[in-house]
Amino acid sequence: MNDTSQPTPPAGEPVLSLRGICKQFGAVSALTDIDLDVHAGEVVALVGDNGAGKSTLVKVLAGVHQATTGTMTFRGQPVTLTGPNDALSLGIATVFQDLSLCENLDVVANIFLGKEMQPYALDEVSMEIRAWTLLNELSARIPSVREPIASLSGGQRQTVAIARSLLLEPRLIMLDEPTAALGVAQTAEVLNLIERVRDRGLGVIMISHNMEDVRAVADRIVVLRLGRNNGIFYPHTSNQELVSAITGAADNAVSRRSGRRQAQQDSGEARA
Amino acid sequence: MSSDKVSPGAPALDRADVRVRHDAGLGGAVRSFIDRIRSGDLGSLPVVVGLAIIWTVFQSLNPVFLSSSNLVNLLFDSSTVGVISLGIVCILMVGEIDLSVGSVSGFASAIVGVLWVNVGVPVVIAILAALAVGAAFGVVYAALFNRLGMPSFVSTLAGLLAVLGMQLYILGATGSINLPYDSALVVLGQTLVMPAFVSYALVLIAGGAIFMTGYRTAARRRAAGLTPPSLAGIVARALAFTVALELVAYYLNQDRGIPWMFGLFVGLVVAMDYALRRTKWGRSMTAVGGNREAARRSGINVRGIYMSAFVLCSTLAALGGVLSAARLASASQQAGTGDVNLNAIAAAVIGGTSLFGGRGSAYSALLGIIVIQSIASGLTLLDLSSSLRYMITGAVLAIAVIVDSLARRSRVSHGRA
């Protein structure tokens, strides 16, 4: 562990801790000896190159895959997840990258999909109130909850997906690439949303390729490389350090490129 | 930061966003209706317009067309294929198709004929057996779809032929079985109509139910701090519905009256509408038709939903077959062949159920089948050959699908898909 510094110890109770998680698909070790801690009221960013094991780890936590070895402790209790429903009932919610919304249904129907109140005579009024309450807690800007999802913007859809994950009052929420498909303003909106979720005292795991976004909201940055922990960093860490942890080398395409740019600037200043 | 209680003066929970125009009153209702149509959310508008055109044309060509007696006959004829079409609505909701409904209905009528007339089983048992066989076909299609990933288009096309073969096989060499004319089943299919006062009372009850549900929803929304729909609007809707249908009932009662078989069909439509709109099952059907993977991740039993859709479709097809046997007083090799299949599918699509899944209503079966039967009846009155009838019905179906596709494209571009 090449921890760079310890500016502030993470606040709150540990929600989730993983120790020595391994996941093998046949001969391939997708995850090897992964340790991870998430505390209440903390945003942990999970970064790494393609194939680093980020999505596999999220799927293990969502109960989609089962870890080969290793222990998982959730709110102080050792747990094993045998399926997605185990994770949901424990209080681990996942917002998938494609959001998994039904475009032909309205916002209320999407938030309550699969968990409708009164299955034989849907309680639309109570569901609508709960939907507005959830959306207002996130300070979401949704014009109407009776419009189909298709009429919402990307940021608004992300909001609906996050609101849906909060419906079952989870303790930990995982967001897979929440800003990948969004514009500048919408990205800022989603990042604000993540901070509000954190301020409600939830643990947040966020996967992202965008270092700007990661630095903007994360309290800690956990780097995975080739299925192993490759360091824990804090938002003030320089880009170069992060990139070298992600790629595993000080000399890589990104650092060479920034080196060239630096050299150009220096020569420009020398001429001036 | 927010609570369920609304402080006085603050806007209602659903009226906080200033960017949205909230249409209130009659003018607002008209404005939002026009907005909806312009964005491609047509609902049942095309079918109402189409029906008006069709009725005007046929009435001007033959004044008998809109007479009470012809309309009563039209309702008798609509009920049989209408029930099959209701099943098609179910299967289209999840984005699949059943092409074998005609064959299944024919086979069901053959089962009733053979068991009841030839074997001598009580008629109720014969009907239940036919329905059970219909359900079994649905189970087979769903198993092929869920377990083997066989597209429903292909499995039901295979079923179309196979079931037709079974129908011919059990009917044997004679090929046709006449049902007893004085039996309750045939009376239901051919002559049994509601007494006038019953039809008026049923319309009144329906109008009252519309008012009561609207009133109770409004009261609950007001109590919860959401904007309630306007009371005047609810009263106007219920009143318009009641008056219009009482007039229709009065007009039909000038002749024989409203067939009980049609009453059965409408009852099934209302029940299906409730199931699709107001139950968790219906919500799941719509979700599976809209985005199957999202439905699966929400914890919906997607395979179970497909199973229920296929089974309901085949069972309703079998029921439609039993009713058509009652209507014709016979079970023959011709039952369920020809245009039954396509009429049932066309009715659902013309009524506004999308072929692309996730969008539709039980009422589309009712509206669509009246359009289809109006065309059939009008062309029969004009004494046109069946060759022309097929061509015209085909053209109407094509127009309906074109309207569906264009409306869908418009919805996408207006962000309402």
Mutation target for B interface from A85, A132, A135: give the one with most B CBs within 10 A: A132
Q: Using CA coordinates, name the residue in chain A closest to B39.
A: A151
Q: What is the pLDDT of residues B339-350, one digit of tens each?
A: 898 899 989 988
Using the Cβ of A119 and the Cβ atoms of chain B, whether some distance falls under 8 Å is answered with yes
B277 to chain A, minimum CA–CA distance in Å? 9
Q: Does position A269 have pLDDT exceeding 70, yes or no? A: no
- B246 burial via Cβ count (<10 Å: 0-12, 13-18, 19+): middle
CB contact under 8 A, B4 and A133: yes
What is the per-residue DSSP string for chain A? ------SSPPPS-EEEEEEEEEEEETTEEEEEEEEEEEETTEEEEEE--TTSSHHHHHHHHTTSS--SEEEEEETTEEE---SHHHHHHHTEEEE-TTTT--TTSBHHHHHTTT--SSTTS--HHHHHHHHHHHHHHTT---S-TTSBGGGS-HHHHHHHHHHHHHTT--SEEEEESTTTT--HHHHHHHHHHHHHHHHTT-EEEEE-S-HHHHHHH-SEEEEEETTEEEEEE-TTS-HHHHHHHHHS-SSSHHHHHHHHHHHHHHHHHHH-
Residue from the list B300, B358, B411 with its beta carbon closest to the beta carbon of A114: B300
Kindly state the average pLDDT of the residues B122-135.
96
CATH for the stretch A14-102+170-237? 3.40.50.300
Instruction: Assess B225–A contact: CB distance below 8 Å, yes or no.
Output: yes
- The predicted model gives B127-134 an average pLDDT of 97
Interface residue of A104, A147, A152, A176 to substitute, partner B, most B CBs within 10 Å = A104
Q: Which residues of B touch A150 (CB under 8 A)?
A: 411-412, 415-417
Chain B contact present for A150, CB below 8 A: yes
A122 touches chain B (CB under 8 A): yes
pLDDT of residue A8: 47
Q: Amino acid identity, residue B89?
A: V
Dihedral (CA of B36, B42, B45, B49) sign: positive
Predicted pLDDT at A1: 42
Q: What is the pTM of this model?
A: 0.86
Q: Give mean pLDDT, residues B239-252.
A: 94
User: What is the percentage of chain A residues whose pLDDT exceeds 70?
Assistant: 92
pLDDT above 90 for B154: yes
Query: Which pLDDT does position B11 carry in this prediction?
Result: 62
Domain segments of chain A: what residues? 14-102+170-237
CA of B369, closest CA in chain A: separation in Å?
25
B229 to chain A, closest Cα gap in Å: 13
Distance CA A133, CA A117 (A): 16
Say if residues A108 and A190 touch (Cβ distance below 8 Å): no
Say if B279 is an interface residue toward chain A (CB within 8 Å): yes
Cα separation, A189 vs A162, in Å, equals: 12
Listed by number, the residues of chain B in 119-148 with a beta carbon closer than 8 Å to a beta carbon of chain A are none
User: pLDDT class for A206, splitting at 50, 70, 90?
Assistant: very high
Most confident of A196-200, B153-157, B334-338: B153-157
Name every chain A residue with its beta carbon within 8 A of the beta carbon of B217.
124-125
CATH code 1.10.3470 region(s) in chain B: 63-193+256-413
| Angle (nearest 5°) at CA B381 between B377 and B385 | 90
- B396-411: average pLDDT: 81
Predicted local distance difference test score (pLDDT) of residue B170? 93
**pLDDT over 80 at B44, yes or no:** no
Contact flag A100-B4 (C-beta cutoff 8 Å): no
pLDDT band with cut points at 50, 70 and 90 for residue A174: very high
Quick check: B414 pLDDT over 80? no
The CB-side HSE value for A88 (13 A sphere, CA atoms) comes to 15
Judged against a pLDDT cut of 80, whether residue B415 lies above it is answered with no
With beta carbons less than 8 A apart as the criterion, state whether B352 and B370 touch: no
Which of A22-36, A141-155, B254-268, B362-376 has the weakest average pLDDT?
A141-155
How many Å lie between the alpha carbon of A270 and the closest alpha carbon of chain B? 54
Residue A251 has pLDDT above 70, yes or no: no
**CATH assignment of B63-193+256-413, given 1.10.3470, 1.10.150, 2.60.40, 2.40.50?**
1.10.3470
Parallel, antiparallel or unpaired: strands A69-74 and A14-25: antiparallel
Q: How many Cα atoms occupy the beta-carbon half-sphere of B243 within 13 Å?
A: 6
- CB contact under 8 Å between A102 and B358, yes or no, is yes
pLDDT value, residue B408? 77
Q: Looking at residues B300-316, what average pLDDT do you find?
A: 95
The mean pLDDT value for B230-246 works out to: 91
